[in-house]
Amino acid sequence: MERSIVFFDLDGTLLNDEKQLNDSTKEAIAALKKQGHIVAIATGRAPFFFEHIRKELNIDTYVSYNGSYVVLEGEVVFTNPLNAEALQRLTDIALENDHAIVYMDHEDMRANVPDHERVTESITTLNIGMLPSHDPKYYQDRFIYQSLLFCAEGEEKPYESLVSAFDFVRWHPVSVDVLPSGGSKFKGIGKITEKLGIPLERQYAFGDALNDLQMLQGIPNSVAMGNGLQEAKDAAKWVTTSNNEDGIAHGLKLAGLL
């Protein structure tokens, strides 16, 4: 069998609702590797949000920050930081609207306001055991690869026209990812597959949410999780069972990889 590469989203996909790896998922990843395939992660998370998962699965290739920080075999091969002037504008507008922001580089994160309930509410759901400390100037004089804007559904709409350098993708009822305009997991994946010389027909992707749509649409061999949004299911070639019901193992069988 020719070597393929398989990209897995994390939350709602590779991880179950308890933010853990099912035994069937671990066994499926091991089986893929044994066959010689490359297993990679494609997530909106920061690299330091899923280091423990990479270690558990022995994965050293990943797309993080929705395509803005890309690592191949432990080496950074592509970065796309947020525009500094636009980030300042975003900060100013957010403060006027009492919307908190978290700034994230490749090593850490800081919030522009202290102890904000929306920050705690959303980040706690990731079960990463950490919350950002307060540093309103953390975005200055460093590369910020993604920010989180904390606002209710629909409140991000004015930002889309006021800060056109960024895309706003909702991941939680009170939070959206802020990424460079036109950035996506799919573009980050391309930085890896180009270097490896793996053609599109031997690329596979699993996802469930809005930030997976370009990846699921752009990679023909795509699998949406049974628990995923309808938009993800419509974008994918196959729909597997849920992340709690052996969805990874089942999806790999649907795709003919197991």
Active site residues: 9
96 contact partners, CB below 8 Å, separation of at least 6: none
Q: What are the start-end ranges of the E strands in 61-195?
A: 62-64, 69-72, 75-79, 101-104, 109-111, 133-134, 146-149, 166-172, 175-180
Q: What is the DSSP letter of 11?
A: B
CB 149 within 8 A of CB 156: yes
| 3-state class (DSSP) for residue 87 | helix
Please state the φ and ψ torsions of residue 228, each to the nearest 5 degrees.
-75, 170
- The Cα 157–Cα 224 span in angstroms is 27
Alpha-carbon distances, residue 141 vs 47, 85, 112, 147, 196 (angstroms): 20, 12, 15, 15, 33
Q: What is the DSSP letter of 67?
A: G
Strand partners, 5: 38, 203
Place of tokens 């091969």: 77
